[in-house]
Amino acid sequence: MYSIEFKNVIKRFGKNEVIKGLNLSIRKGERLILLGSSGCGKSTILRMISGLETISSGELYLNGKLANDMDPGDRGIGMVFQNYALFPHMTVEKNIAYGLRIHRIPEKEIADRVKKAVTILNLDGLEQRLPRELSGGQRQRVALARALVKQADFFLLDEPLSNLDAQLRGKARKELVRIHEMYGQTMIYVTHDQIEAMTVGQRIAVINDGRIQMLDTPHEVYRRPANLFVAKFIGSPSMNVFDGQTAAGTMRLNDTALPLTPGWAEKVGTAGAEKLLAGVRPEDITLTAEPEEGAVPVTVQYHEDYGSRVGYYFTINGEEVISIMRDDVLQGCRQAYWKPNPGALHFFDAATERNIGYPEEAAE
């Protein structure tokens, strides 16, 4: 039995269809990330789970029970909002205990649960402060505490870290994972930040235009993207995609014919696509100043030094391509030789934008 199950769920706002036939099964206790750019429908999915948004058609099951018309208060939801939604007129303690008091839980137990959450989230000594007397990170932790003390089955987070600065965000990510492992609720986490998605998620649902583009582990989503959208969305800088002109076991890159491995040659030959697009991540290449066998000569137009890495820009088959090396291997030289790692190629059908798959031998 799944913890949360969407079956052909559609959500319309007026005539505008925001969620287009969603099928999604979420396991009990897992950390699932809904990842997508703003307006893709990820928050709508979260709000449909919570019941704050109704479902236009289809079915939603929570713990096996049909929940389409279930009252939000009966669903067992602990939720963290993007703006934290702390009550400005209540102290930290009153904010955390708000739901417990409404449910008339005995004061003794409220005190115990609040104490536990306050300790876990390092809020000791702040219980009597008002939200406006707290820093951004502390407010975020109060919001987490309020969602946790409920001990609800589902723990929903809507971009919980987006109002924190970069340093705090890194710390908060680890903390979220630690807390989830402690409480073990089913956690649904909405974000547009791929680093958060990769580090917090056990599975990631990449969403675009109201549809799930791919649902898999962070590793698979990065290594074997299901389609062009996922390939370009995940990874920074994003994957280089260019015209993949293949013929007789080779791929033409500018004026060079790069031989494909037998596995790739077979896969590409049987893909049945009229036109292929080839993809390679900026870091899955070798770039040298000296000619190398099977390498494509390129002219570097621009380079960027990130400190830890260096990025080089040039053109392959008419597309701008970026390659990333650990050191400045070219030392100002504009003529270079570029070779994608054979195990790190991706091919997409240009018409459907789907990944054609990988040969057996392709190393992960």
Partner 1 sequence: MKINSSEIKWHLLFIILVLLLIYPLLFSLSTSFKTMSEAFQSSSLIPADPTFSAYDRVFTTINFVQILSNTFIIAALVTIFKLVTSVFAAYAFVFFHFKGKTALYFLLISTIFIPFTVTMIPNYITLSKVGFVDSIYGVALPQLADATGIFLLRQYMKGIPMSLMEVAELERASHLTRLRTIVVPLIRPAILSIGIIFFINSWNEYVWPAIMIKSEVNYTLSLALQMFVSSEGGTDVPVAMAVATLTMLLPLGLYAVCQKFIIGTFAQSGIKG
Binding site for partner 1 (CB under 8 A): 50-52, 71-75, 77-79, 81-83, 85, 87-89, 98-99, 102-103, 146, 150
- Helix (H) / strand (E) element for 58: namely strand 57-62
Q: How far apart are CB 280 and partner 1 at their closest, in Å?
A: 43
**Residue 252: CB atoms within 10 Å:** 15
Residue ranges in the chain assigned as alpha helix (H) = 42-50, 92-102, 107-120, 136-149, 166-183, 194-200, 218-223, 228-233, 262-270
Between 36 and 78, CB nearer to partner 1: 78
Instruction: Say if residues 148 and 78 touch (Cβ distance below 8 Å).
Output: yes
Written as six digits, the tokens of 106 are 């005995």
Between 99 and 297, CB nearer to partner 1: 99
Number of H helices, E strands in the chain: 9, 22
**Residue 103: CB atoms within 10 Å:** 10
Between 84 and 358, CB nearer to partner 1: 84
Between 113 and 346, CB nearer to partner 1: 113
Written as six digits, the tokens of 227 are 């389609």
Q: How far apart are CB 78 and partner 1 at their closest, in Å?
A: 8
Between 73 and 357, CB nearer to partner 1: 73
Distance CA 253, CA 193 (A): 33
* Terminal-to-terminal C-alpha distance of the chain: 32
Q: How far apart are CB 18 and partner 1 at their closest, in Å?
A: 18
Q: How far apart are CB 103 and partner 1 at their closest, in Å?
A: 7
Q: How far apart are CB 141 and partner 1 at their closest, in Å?
A: 16
Between 51 and 282, CB nearer to partner 1: 51
SS (H, E, C) 201-263: CCEEEEEECCEEEEEECHHHHHHCCCEHHHHHHCCCCCCEEEECEEECCEEEECCEEEECCHH
Q: How far apart are CB 45 and partner 1 at their closest, in Å?
A: 16
Beta bridge partners of 61: 5, 66
Q: How far apart are CB 302 and partner 1 at their closest, in Å?
A: 44
Q: How far apart are CB 136 and partner 1 at their closest, in Å?
A: 16
Between 33 and 86, CB nearer to partner 1: 86
Between 71 and 255, CB nearer to partner 1: 71
Instruction: Say if residues 200 and 175 touch (Cβ distance below 8 Å).
Output: no
Cα Rg of the chain, angstroms: 25
Between 31 and 47, CB nearer to partner 1: 47
277, 345, 193, 312 alpha-carbon torsion, rounded to 10°: -90
Q: How far apart are CB 162 and partner 1 at their closest, in Å?
A: 14
